[in-house]
Amino acid sequence: MDRLQAKRPLYPLVSVVSPLVVLVVGLLTAKSPCFPAYIVAVVLLYCAFGLAKQAVMSLAVFIPVSLVFALFSFLFQRNFSAAGQMAGRVILLGVSALPMVTLPPINLTRCIAALGMPRIITLGMLIAIRFVPVVQGEVGRVREAMKTRGVRHSFYRTFAVPVMIRLINISDTMALSLETRAFSTGREPVSVYKPVVFAARDAFYSAAVFALIITWVVMA
Amino acid sequence: MKQKKGAPAVEVQGLTFTYAAAQTPVLKNCSMALHYGEFALLSGLSGEGKTTLLSAMAGVIPNCFPGVMEGEIFVDEEPVKGRQMAEIARKVGYVLQNPDSQIFHDTVADEIAFGCENLALPPEEIGRRIARSCALMGLNPADRTKTLSGGQKQRLMVACVLAMGQKILLLDEPLANLDREGSRLLLDTLKGLCAKGYAVFLCEHRLDVVSPYVDRVFSLEGGTVKALDRGALSYGSLRKVTPVPAPPCSAEVVLAAKKLGYAVKDKVILKDVTFSLRRGERIVLLGENGSGKTTLLRLLAGLIKPTSGAVESALGVKRGSRKWFQSVGYITQEPSYQLFMPTVRDEVSYGAKGGGAARCMEAFGLEELSLRHPHALSEGQKRRLSIAAVSATAPQVLLLDEPTVGQDSDRLEGLVRSLNAIHAETGCAMVTVTHDYRCAEALCDRVLWIKDGALYREGGKELIEEYFYTAQEENAS
Amino acid sequence: MIKLEKITIRDAAFIANMAALLFVTSAVAMPLMTITLFGLRNMVTAIFYAFFATVINIRVHKPGAITLLGVFYGAILLMMSPVMCVTNIVSACFAEVISLALFRSYENTKGMFLAPALIAPLTLPFTAVFSVIMNDVAFSDVVQSSYLVPLAIFGTVLLSFAGVFLGWKIGSELKKAGRL
């Protein structure tokens, strides 16, 4: 995911809201015959705001995936048009998310803190982002330990129970680490080391997305 | 409040604490004081309650972990009782164990900034503190946290606390992931802070490394704190397990390391290690943290593949298969990963051969615990259980990674006796990694001293004294 | 009166971790995006949702815990599927409200297990509504699109209860191990 991070990320709230608007509008209008043009326009817009490399990487993944999805869709529904729409939806899903997935998480948490939103949201984000790789690591360690015991695999006994026990321990350590570093969900004042500000570039980007959506809705 | 050197930083008065789920108190009527400008050490075995005492001093107990607490704790002469964690954390910096589970941010700078942001420090001040704590801990603020080594992660967690600027620092086994150089850097920094009036309280197993730095020593035994003389930390004062004569080993080689090497990307962890393990032989691996001992054990166990050289086996089973692990018993450093059954008895019985289960239950003192859940045991008990469970399968080779951590003198004596009895009875070959001076001699016929990823010295029991005393003298100097 | 208790950082961290786990395990439903059968995705994720919600209730058992799970899980899902994000948050909230309205607190075992069992079934009506809006079709077209739809609905309910049972089973063991 690190390779995806933007060099000049957009303002966090813009990065979160704009992809949602692009996606929802796209899904609502996916049946339009011009739908591929909408996807191309979205990609070009993102490229113009410094996400060209990430757009290429995303397309390289999502185009093959979309073909698989389209194939399955065709097998179930026997309908070329529906399969095409499915492929378009999958590509849009991958591409539209770019401003959000290229956003460094710290920018988002700092933006939330600066806006005075509940800190429990920051907590959830910090942990959710961090926990997925932790889960991968712990699953690997448990599997290895079970191997050393020469056990016959049983999902509940040799996997679920030890993994859950480990993850609960880690969860407690995480919470403790937050508390000992003076994190609180109360109303205590906090500061932001590198404040994230809404710049002219973000305004241009927002205007461009707005113009694209309006044009597309009128066309579709 | 301006803190003066010598003024009490933390005072513990008659502290008794019982965890909510436990029946007996882990701390019993503990009293002690830590003063500004003082570097104090808390020694004691694992499971004795050192972390609990530190947690109580940091306000974590009973704020985060419920239980029954009696007695008083004062921070800066103000009682801790009734105060929120976030409030206490402004005065007391607490470095926890397991740095891996405590990193939330992408870069070193952001991770350090997190605590300062919670204290609402101005951005310019946070920047200055990041630069200062990174310089002290030898870190680069721009580095990505996921690329850091275990030692660097440990130093990062210390840097996070240093940047927050509390004058009272509690550190729970901060040297666990550090090599000698990293330990020296950290201890020098802490000593320097003490000279500036900070109060430092450190809980650590590696007494030889810490003892030259500390002003006062406390020991936690049977749930009670005692002040100790610094001389009590020297190896000469420790009670060693009496070695018993072992049956002679055969000439048959069961495992042989041939120019064994292991590297991750460009980092060489182990290089050109060559030795043979004979049937019935007992080898102890000695070496600093990060010298490559555990990697060598994992290579012998077939858990990882060497990047150069090979491990040759005469066991006649496919490496890494279920049958292999029935022949090669491996006991990990962290016992809880290997436990999965609902009761202690079931755990030991799993895969046991012959009367192995009953014998091991008795030998490792687990009979009284037979109906308990393995994960409800103390760390020391879990370790005995994992050794018993693996030993009960009567493996031909037994690989043990720090098997004696958390055992008091009596338990240690019993554990070593049981291991030697199993060795004598089954004729298995045994390789033990240990930092425990008390038992190293009783567990070996031959010693391999690993240094910087290579086999530095090889010899008999006499090498043990040399290794430990060299380490102690190096630290003292 | 419903007894309100403050959700601590430890509780919230645990819930956030369970939400991340729920996301990882529910990823098995991703390939099902290709199949437009109503209720299928809800059915597959039902067992995981009920499982983790039950484990949370066994440990935290405070009003708000299940809604917080919905919020954290929804936040993770936000980009993958805004529809699922909203559906999950609303369903978790409704499940909690119904359960607390009936039993007042999670001290009662039935209340503790009802909320987790209700979340996935409650996602069904919301999914149907979103399908109607998104695909511009009639409600009857969504729910009568295949003879398999009733099966998927029944499966969602059944797997929810199976998830609760599994959650209770593992929760009991973790409690015995002193971890919950």
Enter the ipTM: 0.86
A179 touches chain B (CB under 8 A): yes
- In chain A the first and final C-alpha atoms are separated, in Å, by 34
Q: What is the pLDDT of residues B94-106, one digit of tens each?
A: 999 888 888 989 8
Range of the domain at C161: 9-176
Of B46, B55, B43, B45, nearest in space to B12 by CA:
B55
Q: How is the beta sheet containing B308-313 ordered, strand by strand?
A: B267-278, B253-264, B308-313
Query: Band of the pLDDT at B267, cuts 50, 70, 90?
Result: confident
Query: Band of the pLDDT at C79, cuts 50, 70, 90?
Result: low
Q: What is the pLDDT of residues B386-405, one digit of tens each?
A: 999 999 999 999 999 988 87
111-130 in chain A: CB under 8 A from chain C = 120-121, 123-125, 127-128
**Which residue among C8, C10, C177 places its CB closest to the CB of B376?**
C177
Q: Which position has the token pair 């899902």?
A: C77
Query: What is the phi/psi pair of residue B263, to 5°?
Result: -140, 145
Q: How far B358 CA sits from the closest chain A CA (Å)? A: 18
Residue pair B92/B75 in contact by the 8 Å Cβ criterion = yes
Dist CA B25 CA B15 (whole Å)? 10
User: Would the pLDDT of A13 be above 60?
Assistant: yes
Q: For residues B201 and A89, which has the higher predicted lDDT (pLDDT)?
A: B201
Query: Band of the pLDDT at C134, cuts 50, 70, 90?
Result: low
Q: What is the pLDDT of residues B197-249, one digit of tens each?
A: 999 999 987 777 788 899 999 988 888 999 887 776 666 666 788 888 878 88
Both structure tokens of A43: 């990609």
A171/C14 touch (CB, cutoff 8 Å), yes or no: yes
Q: What is the chain B residue with the closest CA to C172? A: B342
- In this structure, the number of other CB atoms found within 10 A of the CB of residue B160 comes to 28
Residue pair C71/C89 in contact by the 8 Å Cβ criterion = yes
Residues 6+ apart with CB under 8 A from B308: B259, B260, B261, B262, B263, B271, B272
Three-point CA angle B36, B38, B39, nearest 5°: 135
Residue C106 sits in a domain of what CATH number?
Answer: 1.10.1760
Residue pair C17/A131 in contact by the 8 Å Cβ criterion = yes
Q: For residues C4 and A89, which has the higher predicted lDDT (pLDDT)?
A: A89
30-69 in chain A: CB under 8 A from chain B = none
User: Would the pLDDT of B132 be above 90?
Assistant: yes
Within-domain flag for C60: yes
Looking at residue C146, its pLDDT comes to 72
Q: How far A173 CA sits from the closest chain C CA (Å)? A: 9
Radius of gyration, CA atoms only, chain C: 16
SS3 B199: strand
User: Would the pLDDT of B350 be above 80?
Assistant: yes
Residues 6+ apart with CB under 8 A from A140: none
Residue pair B34/B198 in contact by the 8 Å Cβ criterion = no
Q: How far C85 CA sits from the closest chain B CA (Å)? A: 24
Residue of B124, B164, B337, B400 to mutate, testing the A interface (most A Cβ within 10 Å of its Cβ): B337
Looking at residue B454, its pLDDT comes to 94
User: Would the pLDDT of C129 be above 90?
Assistant: no
Dist CA B432 CA B403 (whole Å)? 8
Within-domain flag for C1: no
List subunits contacting chain C, requiring 3 or more Cβ pairs under 8 Å: A, B
Dist CA B62 CA B64 (whole Å)? 6
User: Would the pLDDT of B93 be above 90?
Assistant: yes
Q: How buried is C105 (Cβ within 10 angstroms: 0-12 exposed, 13-18 middle, 19+ buried)? A: middle
Q: Is the dihedral of CA B390, B392, B395, B401 positive or negative?
A: positive
Q: What is the chain C residue with the closest CA to B64? A: C10
Looking at residue B176, its pLDDT comes to 78
Mean pLDDT of the residues in chain B:
89
Dist CA C2 CA B471 (whole Å)? 62
Dist CA B451 CA B460 (whole Å)? 17
Q: What is the pLDDT of residues B111-127, one digit of tens each?
A: 999 999 999 999 999 99
Query: Band of the pLDDT at B157, cuts 50, 70, 90?
Result: very high
User: Would the pLDDT of A209 be above 90?
Assistant: yes
Q: What is the pLDDT of residues A168-189, one digit of tens each?
A: 999 999 999 999 999 988 878 8
SS3 C28: helix
Both structure tokens of B1: 């409040």
Three-point CA angle B145, B149, B153, nearest 5°: 55
SS3 B405: coil
Within-domain flag for C72: yes
Query: Band of the pLDDT at A7, cuts 50, 70, 90?
Result: confident
User: Would the pLDDT of B150 be above 90?
Assistant: no
Dist CA B364 CA B358 (whole Å)? 10
Residue pair B438/B234 in contact by the 8 Å Cβ criterion = no
Looking at residue B5, its pLDDT comes to 74
Greatest CA separation for chain A: 65
Q: How buried is A78 (Cβ within 10 angstroms: 0-12 exposed, 13-18 middle, 19+ buried)? A: exposed
Provide the CB-side half-sphere exposure for B174 (13 A, CA): 31
Residue of B297, B330, B340, B399 to mutate, testing the A interface (most A Cβ within 10 Å of its Cβ): B340
Q: Give chain C positions within 8 Å (CB) of A184.
A: 9
Give the number of residues written for chain B. 477
SS3 B74: strand
Looking at residue C33, its pLDDT comes to 65
- Paired strand residues for B69: B17
Query: Band of the pLDDT at C11, cuts 50, 70, 90?
Result: very high
Within-domain flag for C32: yes
Q: What is the pLDDT of residues B413-453, one digit of tens each?
A: 888 999 999 999 889 999 999 888 888 999 999 999 999 89
**B302: alpha, beta or left? (left if phi > 0; alpha if psi -120 to 50):** left
A120 touches chain B (CB under 8 A): no
Of B73, B64, B77, nearest in space to B27 by CA:
B73
Within-domain flag for C80: yes
Identity of the amino acid at B312? E
Looking at residue C34, its pLDDT comes to 61
DSSP code of residue A15: H
Within-domain flag for C77: yes
Dist CA B396 CA B331 (whole Å)? 14
User: Would the pLDDT of C101 be above 70?
Assistant: yes
Within-domain flag for C2: no
A116 touches chain B (CB under 8 A): no
Q: Give chain B positions within 8 Å (CB) of A179.
A: 60, 63-64, 85-86, 89
- The count of structural domains within chain C is 1
Q: For residues B296 and C142, which has the higher predicted lDDT (pLDDT)?
A: B296
Within-domain flag for C19: yes
A195 touches chain B (CB under 8 A): yes
Looking at residue B296, its pLDDT comes to 95
Give me the percent of chain B exceeding a pLDDT of 90. 55
Lowest mean pLDDT among A153-162, B160-169, B436-445, C78-87: C78-87
Q: Which position has the token pair 């699953």?
A: A139
Residues 6+ apart with CB under 8 A from C52: C18, C19, C21, C22, C25, C69, C167
Mean pLDDT of the residues in chain C:
87
Query: What is the phi/psi pair of residue A164, to 5°?
Result: -60, -40
User: Would the pLDDT of A152 be above 90?
Assistant: no
Q: Which long-range contacts (CB under 8 A, 24 or more apart) does A81-85 make?
A: A85/A30, A85/A31, A85/A35
Query: Band of the pLDDT at A1, cuts 50, 70, 90?
Result: low
Mean pLDDT of the residues in chain A:
88
Cα B367 from chain centroid (whole Å): 26
Residue pair C42/C124 in contact by the 8 Å Cβ criterion = yes
Q: Give chain C positions within 8 Å (CB) of A168.
A: 14, 174, 179-180
Identity of the amino acid at A196? V
Looking at residue B236, its pLDDT comes to 64
Query: Band of the pLDDT at B146, cuts 50, 70, 90?
Result: confident
Looking at residue A86, its pLDDT comes to 84
Looking at residue A131, its pLDDT comes to 82
B351/A150 touch (CB, cutoff 8 Å), yes or no: yes
